[in-house]
């Protein structure tokens, strides 16, 4: 009898073991309620609205005793040398950075994991000090470091948007991406993948067609559906002329993430994306660089407030800042956009972590902005002449070729003869545009969301507005990087007299021109 009882007990234990194994197999995905999802054009988490407030953060790899260790990038340190040289020290540093980010009010990090290089043999991998780690043969080492990074983020209650190297028609990168998606499909901490940073600037193929871009992104979408079904998928789009090739309106991303810089451009580019896109959108990158000399920390602080509020007012579902800490020894725009400088030391609230550098005032605004409530946005006065050009003006109209109806929100791009200066504008509700420039436009490209593109060169015949014999044409080679927003401000003291002080410009500054020309009607085809 005892033997039978014993046999029954063993049998029951064995059945329970099989059942538990089967349960593991049949339920490989964590409870989907733990993942961020989209509903009614907003992010949701456990049925509550989730508004990603993102700080961009760059990581790199170190070779520590032949171990592939994920680390803050070098310029998040002294910045000429690394501060720490053991795995434990580096982890402690990452923990400190992530805790500080959380304390400031950010809830998400856009983790730049895309620094994959191609060596002389055509092989892809990450460079760690003087060692090249291949994405195929060293995959486990690479992933171990990333896992640790995500673990720290989870401990600090931060979500991750992971920027990866775009797997465009490359077998090695495609295989690596699929393994990556499969590896982290059970990680709700990783809420979204960013498959490509700014195609406008980093697509290696020139003059890619919209159809080609659609095919590429459809393939990426299928990867996500198969290997990471509960995580979201985006691309980091830059200025509206992305619509010429990588048209966000046509691409099957889950949400649109835009990168926009310079106060004269930011409100206008946000406004355009908000009006003419058919998907949820957010700001993934923006910043006003400030060294507290040529641009004050106070101006950067006000820019943070205005850009955040304007994003919310226009219906954005998230907001991101570039980046954690200043970059040294590069051009001004990149060097001073960080929220942490390299002077002094910052302590976390619990005193556990000491971080090289001092926080700029803009960093302290996020906690206040988290509770900002949406209001009705105002279109900036420079929407049709963002940079305040004053020499030339071209008027024209963009129409649907089939219906002859006006196309609102079309993007017009003009360049001068040597392609050194480009300028943009948009069509209004009547399909009309006014393209302002300081130099004569020769090259043109025109498209609209969901429409075909036309590209052409033409000689424009301008007429002088004035009868004066001599007309001075100023600043013909002035590109936007060299244009300060300060002379255009309505109130240089940035007082509260305006809803968005740093976007409140003098309207009369943007309506002047010395020569005028008419362009023939432009026709586009609907390719939705």
Question: Quick one: 2 exposed, middle or buried, by C-beta within 10 A (0-12, 13-18, 19+)?
Answer: exposed
Write out the H or E segment, with its range, that includes residue 317.
Answer: none
Q: How many CA atoms lie within 13 A of 409 on its CB side?
A: 17
514: left (phi over 0), alpha (psi -120 to 50) or beta: alpha
C-alpha pair distances (Å), 101 with each of 191, 348, 355:
17, 10, 11
Looking at the structure of the chain, the number of domains it has is: 2
In a domain, 201, yes or no: yes
Range of the domain at 351: 45-369
pTM of the model: 0.92
Assigned token pair, 112:
């730049």
- Does residue 333 belong to any structural domain of this protein? yes
One domain, residues 168 and 302:
yes
CA pair distance 33, 518, nearest whole angstrom: 56
**Domain membership flag for residue 52:** yes
Q: Is residue 387 part of a domain?
A: no
Within a domain: 386: no
- Residue 400: the pLDDT is 98
Is the residue at 12 inside a domain? no
Is residue 114 domain-shared with residue 177, that is, in the same domain? yes
Cα 479 to Cα 415: distance, rounded to the nearest angstrom? 11
87-104 vs 139-155: helix crossing angle, rounded to 10: 40
Residues 190 and 108 in one domain: yes
Is the Cα dihedral 321, 346, 358, 328 positive or negative?
negative
DSSP H or E run through 259:
strand 256-259
β-pairing, 159-163 with 190-197?
Answer: parallel
Token readout for 480 is 């936007």
Is there a single domain that holds both residue 254 and residue 345?
yes
Same domain, 338 and 432: no
Q: What is the domain-level CATH number for residue 251?
A: 3.20.20.80
How far is Cα 391 from Cα 393, in angstroms, rounded to an integer? 7
The terminus-to-terminus CA distance of the chain in angstroms comes to 76
User: CATH number, domain at 455?
Assistant: 2.60.130
- What is the full per-residue pLDDT of the chain (528 aa) written as tens digits? 455 555 554 444 444 444 344 333 233 445 778 999 999 999 999 999 999 999 999 999 999 988 889 999 999 987 778 888 899 999 999 999 999 999 999 999 999 999 999 999 899 999 998 889 999 999 999 999 999 999 999 999 999 999 999 999 899 999 999 999 999 999 999 999 999 999 999 998 988 999 999 999 999 999 999 999 999 999 999 999 999 999 999 999 999 999 999 999 999 999 999 999 999 999 999 999 999 999 999 999 999 999 999 999 999 999 999 999 999 888 888 899 999 999 999 999 999 999 999 999 999 999 999 999 999 998 999 999 999 999 999 999 999 999 999 999 999 999 999 999 999 999 999 999 999 999 999 999 999 999 999 999 999 999 999 877 678 898 999 988 899 999 999 988 888 788 999 999 999 999 999 999 999 999 999 997
Within a domain: 203: yes
- Shared domain check, 410 and 342: no
Domain boundary among 314, 337, 369: 369
8 A C-beta contact, residue 97 and residue 57: yes
Sign of the Cα torsion 329, 332, 334, 340 reads positive
- Which of 190, 195, 196, 77 has its CA nearest to residue 143? 190
What is the predicted pLDDT for the residue at 95? Answer: 98
Assess if residue 1 is contained within a domain.
no
| Final residue belonging to a domain, choices 369, 404, 424 | 369
In a shared domain, residues 195 and 117: yes
Distance, in Å, from the CA atom of 368 to the CA atom of 528, rounded to the nearest integer, reads: 41
Q: Do 60 and 187 fall into the same domain?
A: yes
Q: Are 45 and 158 in contact (CB under 8 A)?
A: no
356 and 409 housed in the same domain: no
């Amino acid at each position: 009898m005892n033997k039978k009882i014993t046999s029954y007990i063993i049998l029951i234990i064995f059945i329970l073991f099989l059942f538990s194994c089967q349960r593991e197999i049949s339920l490989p995905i964590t409870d989907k309620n733990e993942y961020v999802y989209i509903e009614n054009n907003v992010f949701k988490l456990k049925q509550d609205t989730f508004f990603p407030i993102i700080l961009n953060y760059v990581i790199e790899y170190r070779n520590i005793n032949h171990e592939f260790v994920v680390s803050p990038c070098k310029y998040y340190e002294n910045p000429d040398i690394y501060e720490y040289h053991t795995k434990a020290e580096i982890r402690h540093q990452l923990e400190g950075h992530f805790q500080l980010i959380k304390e400031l009010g950010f809830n998400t990090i856009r983790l730049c994991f895309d620094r994959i290089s191609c060596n002389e043999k055509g092989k892809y991998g990450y460079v760690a000090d003087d060692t090249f780690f291949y994405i195929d043969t060293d995959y486990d080492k690479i992933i171990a470091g990333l896992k640790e990074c995500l673990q720290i983020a989870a401990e600090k209650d931060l979500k991750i948007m992971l920027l990866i190297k775009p797997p465009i028609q490359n077998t090695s990168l495609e295989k690596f991406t699929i393994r990556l998606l499969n590896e982290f499909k059970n990680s709700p901490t990783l809420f979204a993948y960013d498959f490509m940073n700014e195609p406008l600037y980093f697509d290696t193929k020139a003059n890619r067609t919209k159809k080609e871009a659609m095919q590429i992104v459809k393939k990426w979408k299928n990867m996500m559906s198969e290997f990471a079904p509960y995580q979201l998928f985006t691309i980091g789009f830059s200025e509206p002329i992305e619509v010429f090739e990588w048209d966000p309106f046509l691409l099957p991303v889950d949400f649109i993430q835009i990168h926009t810089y310079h106060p004269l451009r930011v409100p206008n580019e946000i406004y355009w994306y908000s009006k003419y896109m058919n998907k949820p959108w957010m700001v993934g990158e923006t910043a006003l660089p400030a060294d507290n000399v040529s641009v004050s920390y106070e101006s950067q602080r006000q820019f943070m407030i205005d850009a955040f509020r304007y994003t919310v007012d226009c219906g954005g579902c998230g907001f991101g800042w570039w980046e954690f800490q200043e970059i040294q020894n590069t051009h001004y725009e990149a060097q001073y956009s960080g929220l942490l400088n390299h002077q002094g030391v910052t302590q976390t609230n619990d005193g556990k972590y000491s971080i090289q550098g001092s926080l700029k005032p803009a960093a302290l605004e996020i906690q206040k902005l988290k509770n900002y409530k949406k209001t009705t946005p105002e279109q900036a006065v420079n929407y049709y002449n963002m940079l305040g050009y004053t020499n030339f003006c071209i008027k024209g109209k963009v129409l649907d070729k089939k219906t002859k109806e006006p196309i609102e929100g079309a993007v017009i791009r003009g360049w001068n003869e040597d392609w050194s200066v480009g300028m943009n504008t948009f069509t209004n509700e009547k399909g009309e545009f006014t393209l302002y420039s300081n130099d004569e436009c020769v090259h043109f490209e025109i498209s609209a969301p969901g429409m075909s593109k036309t590209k052409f060169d033409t000689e424009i015949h301008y007429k002088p507005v004035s009868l004066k014999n001599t007309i001075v044409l100023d600043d013909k080679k002035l590109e936007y990087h060299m244009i300060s927003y300060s002379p255009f401000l309505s109130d240089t003291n940035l007082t509260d007299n305006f809803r968005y002080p740093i976007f409140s410009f003098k309207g009369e500054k943007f309506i002047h021109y010395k020569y005028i020309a008419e362009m023939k009607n432009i026709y586009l085809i609907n390719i939705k």
